[in-house]
DNA sequence: GCGCTTTCTGAAAGCGCTTACAGTCAGCTC
DNA sequence: GAGCTGACTGTAAGCGCTTTCAGAAAGCGC
């Protein structure tokens, strides 16, 4: 593609249709070299005020915008960050991306996001395609901890922050929510309220977060000397519908547990609907605690007591750490941060026993 | 930065630490020119099978991955799409991005997303920064219809699809949800159920979608010969809390409307909580209809009748249109697609009158 | 065996930018 | 006024890739 650069520039001064002006045109228009234009644009090196103004005028006249691919090639900086997520469903995702985006934007970075990475091979392909496109990577994939085939495809040259990775991070920085701790908070709250038979609605068995929440549940019970019969651990998959199914089974259990802890809010909502359908009142008959604190949790009736996870904060911190790494690639050994959830106590869990009786009468009245 | 390319390549064959191999190294390793390597990698031009294999081996041995910035500079294709959104809150956003991402990925494109564009100047800046980084743009901003200063910053050289733009699109393809139609569906449903006093909880007054929903509400009432007193139009801002406030006011209205249409589900949920708080039963005392059909809508008690908006579909179609434009830049005049919402009829709206009486007794009993 | 086509490969230019390096040109110092 | 200094500017190489163009090699009919 032989294109005569000088010709091109001299042919037409302003916006030649079909081409976006290059730094050459600007230089020509301003009567300076491309080097000077570049210096003005980047604020590097000394430029006489008058010259600078001429350049700025030319830029404005031509409506010139630097071509980032070219700049990236030259500087080896892209000013963008890749974000790979396991999937794009629900509020969790948008919160996370929001947190990341905020931090990124503040630092002048862009976000290349990509979701639905259930398939390892596909993730690897995307990872490859990102080469030369990003300065860093925020990666959240259940796969890394397991298979490990991904490790090979991880780019060598850019810093990576792993989200909710349940391994050692393999030399990368790591940042995760302490799911187990959150679950313990929830269960201990129920225990403190006097509940002894606490059911659990689990998440997908292959989900690391879900597993941690299950462990937290068991741990809390055990450490209070309470047996956790498998009967009380209901299957679920994080979707509302599975909460409904679990709720139906709970309603029919005999003896019926006085409290339910759902591994996420969506299932808690499903369970709530099912319990109500069966004439049970929450919290009077059954106390209910969720996990995630999705925005509407507080507007349910009753307002849902749930484990609050600072998701946007997770994103923000991940980004901060990543930017730090980008600044100084050899900045010490990998860091592993753990973010602790807190408990948002609302109305869906109340003391057991005392009110359990009252509830029965109430229920009879209203149903 | 004088770097002797031949030297570099000959110094070390395999992964020289600190550098990622370039196409030169691959060529050297395979004993062919860079042109041939490029041809193999892109499947262009004829290459002898044996040569191809040698190249492939070299690629594998060096763990070579093409540098996309360089490729972009050369081909003038970036294989990525910019997505600018007004904000990143809530389920709407994640659904939209999910739809876009799915379509993009299927076509081999990446997504550069950026949220929170309330500020025009900031949007313009991002738009500029995207030059040379994307092959197309999906843009959703309330600002474009109004101020118009954005028009100037819109890149000339890449196709743009505007989402929910309420202008003429200014020559760009446009894709939007028919909010007015959706609102009419909701209100007409309530009218068909015999309701005559239908309250409306509005969205933010500066939000175009919200405005259209308001118009649909008024239109439906008017076309059925029903007066729509301003008294029944409650202020709101799309957030749950504003639904609570509106619900409280509705509960105290005298005469009390028999139905409420909320401009989105979040406010409907808030309203539901407030009504209940005031001892009113939904749907027996007051029918309630929302807008959006967020995932949990069907799991509320009662399950929320709401306007179903195919958000992911909106994203998918926007992407499809954009890709089409990218393939053929001069592909006809701007298209303006309108996606019609549908009504998801559930349990929160029931016939007026007949049951209104029954409701009163029920309420007395349970409150 | 010769000219011709066909197939494959390589040299090199060019994508638009940054930046090391080498000027140029005032303004100074003596 | 020669020589220096230092502020400014220009030249050109290089970032890693694609692609044109032309050359080399190989196959073919006669």
User: At A361, is the secondary structure helix, strand, or coil?
Assistant: helix
Q: Strand D closer than 7 Å to the CB of B7?
A: no
Residue B225 (CA) to nucleotide D23 (C1'), in angstroms, measures 85
Question: Residue B296: its pLDDT value, please?
Answer: 86
Give the nucleotide with minimal C1' distance to the Cα of A74: D15
Residues A307 and A290: their CA atoms lie apart, in Å, by 6
Question: Residue A148: its pLDDT value, please?
Answer: 56
Give the nucleotide with minimal C1' distance to the Cα of B36: C9
Q: How confident is the model at residue B2 (pLDDT cuts 50, 70, 90)?
A: very low
Nearest residue to D9 (CA, C1')? A36
Residues B103 and B4: their CA atoms lie apart, in Å, by 43
Would residue A126 be called left, alpha or beta, if left means φ above 0 and alpha means ψ between -120 and 50 degrees? alpha
Residue B354 pLDDT more than 60?
A: no
Question: Residue B88: its pLDDT value, please?
Answer: 67
Residue B17 phi/psi, 5-degree rounding, is -65, 135
- Determine contact: A73 vs chain B, CB below 8 A: yes
Average pLDDT over residues B197-204: 96
Residue A51 (CA) to nucleotide D5 (C1'), in angstroms, measures 22
Tell me the chain B residues in contact with residue A65 when contact means C-beta distances shorter than 8 Å.
128, 131-132, 155
Residue A90 pLDDT more than 80?
A: no
Which residue is closest to B69 within chain A, CA to CA?
Answer: A69
Residues B320 and B103: their CA atoms lie apart, in Å, by 7
Residues B293 and B241: their CA atoms lie apart, in Å, by 18
Residues B131 and B135: their CA atoms lie apart, in Å, by 9
Residue A170 pLDDT more than 80?
A: no
Give the nucleotide with minimal C1' distance to the Cα of B76: C15
Supply the Cα-derived Rg of chain B in whole angstroms.
Answer: 28
Residue B329 pLDDT more than 60?
A: yes
Distance from CA of B218 to the nearest CA of A (A): 28
Which residue is closest to A76 within chain B, CA to CA?
Answer: B69
pLDDT tens sequence across A143-166: 544 445 666 677 777 899 999 887
pLDDT tens sequence across B48-58: 999 999 999 99
Question: Residue B65: its pLDDT value, please?
Answer: 93
Q: Cα dist. A36→A11, A47, A51, B53, B70 in Å?
A: 22, 7, 9, 46, 24
Question: Residue A356: its pLDDT value, please?
Answer: 43
Tell me the chain A residues in contact with residue B80 when contact means C-beta distances shorter than 8 Å.
112, 133
Distance from CA of A133 to the nearest CA of B (A): 6
Cβ <8 Å between B101 and A78: no
CA diameter of chain B: 92
Nearest to B116 among A15, A101, A131 (CB): A101
Residue B278 pLDDT more than 70?
A: yes
Cβ <8 Å between B88 and A94: yes
Residue B167 pLDDT more than 90?
A: no
Cβ <8 Å between A90 and B88: no
Q: Are strands B160-163 and B136-139 parallel, antiparallel or unpaired?
A: parallel
Question: Residue A355: its pLDDT value, please?
Answer: 45
Residue A16 pLDDT more than 50?
A: no
User: At A132, is the secondary structure helix, strand, or coil?
Assistant: coil
Planar angle of CA A330, A332, A336, nearest 5 degrees: 125
Q: Strand D closer than 7 Å to the CB of B106?
A: no
Average pLDDT over residues A294-302: 88
Structure pTM? 0.84
Q: How confident is the model at residue B12 (pLDDT cuts 50, 70, 90)?
A: very low
Q: How confident is the model at residue A88 (pLDDT cuts 50, 70, 90)?
A: low
Residues 122-141 of A with CB under 8 A from B: 126, 128-133
pLDDT tens sequence across B224-273: 999 888 999 999 999 999 999 999 999 999 999 999 999 999 999 999 99
């Amino acid at each position: 593609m032989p294109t005569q650069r000088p010709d091109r520039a001299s042919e037409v001064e302003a916006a030649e249709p079909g081409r976006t002006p290059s730094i050459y045109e600007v230089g020509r228009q301003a009567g300076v070299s491309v080097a000077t234009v570049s210096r003005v644009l980047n604020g590097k090196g000394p430029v006489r005020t008058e010259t600078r103004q001429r350049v700025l005028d030319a830029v404005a006249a031509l409506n010139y915008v630097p071509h980032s691919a070219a700049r990236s090639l030259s500087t080896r900086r892209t000013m963008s960050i890749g974000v790979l997520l396991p999937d794009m469903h629900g509020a969790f995702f948008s919160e996370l991306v929001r947190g990341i985006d905020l931090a990124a934007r503040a630092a002048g970075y862009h976000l290349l996001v990509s979701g639905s990475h259930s398939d390892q091979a596909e993730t690897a392909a995307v990872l490859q395609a990102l080469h030369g496109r990003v300065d860093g990577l925020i990666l959240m994939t259940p796969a890394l901890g397991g298979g490990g085939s991904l490790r090979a495809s991880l780019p060598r040259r850019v810093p990576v922050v792993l989200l909710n990775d349940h391994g050692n991070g393999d030399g990368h920085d790591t940042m995760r929510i302490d799911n187990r701790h959150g679950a313990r908070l929830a269960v201990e709250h129920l225990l403190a309220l006097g509940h002894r038979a606490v059911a659990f609605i689990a998440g997908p068995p292959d989900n690391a977060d879900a597993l941690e929440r299950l462990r937290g549940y068991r741990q809390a019970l055990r450490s209070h000397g309470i047996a956790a019969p498998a009967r009380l651990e209901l299957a679920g998959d994080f979707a509302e519908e599975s909460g409904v199914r679990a709720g139906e089974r709970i309603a029919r259990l005999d003896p019926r547990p006085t409290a339910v802890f759902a591994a996420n809010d969506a299932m808690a909502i499903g369970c709530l609907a099912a319990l109500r359908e069966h004439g049970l009142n929450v919290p009077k008959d059954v106390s209910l605690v969720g996990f995630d604190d999705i925005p509407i949790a507080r507007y349910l009736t009753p307002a849902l007591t749930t484990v609050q996870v600072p998701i946007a904060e997770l994103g923000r911190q991940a980004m901060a750490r990543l930017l730090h790494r980008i600044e100084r690639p050899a900045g010490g050994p990998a860091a592993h941060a753990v973010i602790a959830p807190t408990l948002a106590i609302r109305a869906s869990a109340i003391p057991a026993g005392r009110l359990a009786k009252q509830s029965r009468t109430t229920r009879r009245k209203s149903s």
